[in-house]
Amino acid sequence: MDGIRITTDLDEIDWAALRQALIDDDFDNGRTIEEYERSARGSSLNVYAFWGDECVGNARLLSDGVCNAYVVDVWTRSDLRRQGIGRSMMRMLLEACQGQHVYLSTNDMEPFYESLGFRAQPTGMSQVAGKWLGRD
């Protein structure tokens, strides 16, 4: 898409604006502004898509740097989907973890991830240790 700029520079991120964009697009999972930033800084790689000054996409990679990686928080603003933004962000993440097994979880975007070479796994399991985000 014309006018989209992709960056990995965390210093460019206005965390409050990002959180609000996620809330406005019904993609917020309850983290505070500080928790969004801490999540990003604790990740192996973060990719952000900007349209002008507005953040319209993000994706994160968690990796051990050897053999296992996990992709989380992949988001492209709803009205800008199907224009290559998510694909560009995912390619950057995958290039950063060559040779590793990359896993992700999705609720409704299977065709998108299949188009990137992902395949369904027979079993996935999860657990929230304690209470979500340590809150009541």
Give the domains, in start order, of the chain with CATH numbers.
4-119 (3.40.630.30)
What count of other Cβ atoms lies within 10 Å of the Cβ of residue 77?
18
Given a cut of 90, whether residue 40 has pLDDT beyond it is: yes
Is residue 62 within 8 A of residue 44, CB to CB? The reply is yes
For 17-126, strand residue ranges (E) read 45-51, 54-63, 68-76, 101-104
Q: What's the chain's average pLDDT?
A: 93
- pTM, rounded to two decimals: 0.90
Given a cut of 80, whether residue 60 has pLDDT beyond it is: yes
Report the pLDDT averaged over residues 36-47.
Answer: 97
Report the pLDDT averaged over residues 95-112.
Answer: 92
User: What would the two tokens of residue 85 be?
Assistant: 């933004």
Query: pLDDT by residue (tens digit) across 113-130?
Result: 999 999 998 887 778 788
- What does the pLDDT read at residue 56? 97
- What does the pLDDT read at residue 124? 79
Position 1 confidence tier, pLDDT thresholds 50, 70, 90: low
User: 3-state DSSP: the chain helix, strand, coil percent, rounded to 5?
Assistant: 35, 25, 40
Report the pLDDT averaged over residues 40-57.
Answer: 97
